[in-house]
Amino acid sequence: MTFYESFEQVPGIFPYQPPSPPGPGNDPDRRENPDNEPNKERTKVVGKTKSSMEAVKEMGATQIPEVKSNIHCLTIVGQIEGHLVLPPQNKTTKYEHMIPQLVALEQNPEVEGVLIVLNTVGGDVEAGLAIAEIISSMSKPTVSVVLGGGHSIGVPIAVATDYAFIAETASMTIHPIRLTGLVIGVPQTYEYLDKMQDRVVRFVTAHSAITEEKFRELMFRTGELARDIGTVLIGQDAVECGLINEVGGMQQALARLKNLIEERKTRNEVPLQ
Active-site amino acid positions: 152, 175
In whole angstroms, give the CA distance from residue 167 to residue 184.
43
Work out how close the CB of 178 gets to other proteins at its nearest, in angstroms, rounded to a whole number: 8
Q: Let me know how long the chain is.
A: 273
Residue of 77, 138, 225, 261 that binds other proteins (CB under 8 A): 225
Stretch in the footprint of other proteins (CB under 8 A) among 92-100, 161-169, 242-250, 255-263: 92-100
State the number of CA atoms in the 13 A half-sphere of 52 facing the CB. 9
Which residue, 26 or 70, is less far from other proteins as judged by CB? 70
Cβ of residue 125: shortest distance to other proteins, in angstroms?
A: 5
Distances (CA, A) of 52 to 57, 67, 168: 9, 16, 37
Q: Which of 173, 205, 208, 245 touches other proteins (CB under 8 A)?
A: 173
Pick the piece of the chain touching other proteins (CB under 8 A) from 17-25, 41-49, 80-88, 262-270.
Answer: 80-88
Looking at this protein, which amino acid is placed at residue 67? V
Long-range CB pairs of 93-100, under 8 A, 24+ apart, other chains included: 93/120, 93/123, 95/124, 95/127, 95/128, 95/130, 95/131, 98/74, 98/131, 99/130, 99/131, 99/134
- Work out which of 152, 161, 205, 208 binds other proteins, going by CB under 8 A: 152
Contact set with other proteins (CB under 8 A)? 58, 72, 79, 82-90, 94, 96-97, 100-101, 103-105, 107-108, 121-126, 128, 151-153, 173, 175, 177-181, 193, 196, 200, 225, 227-228, 230
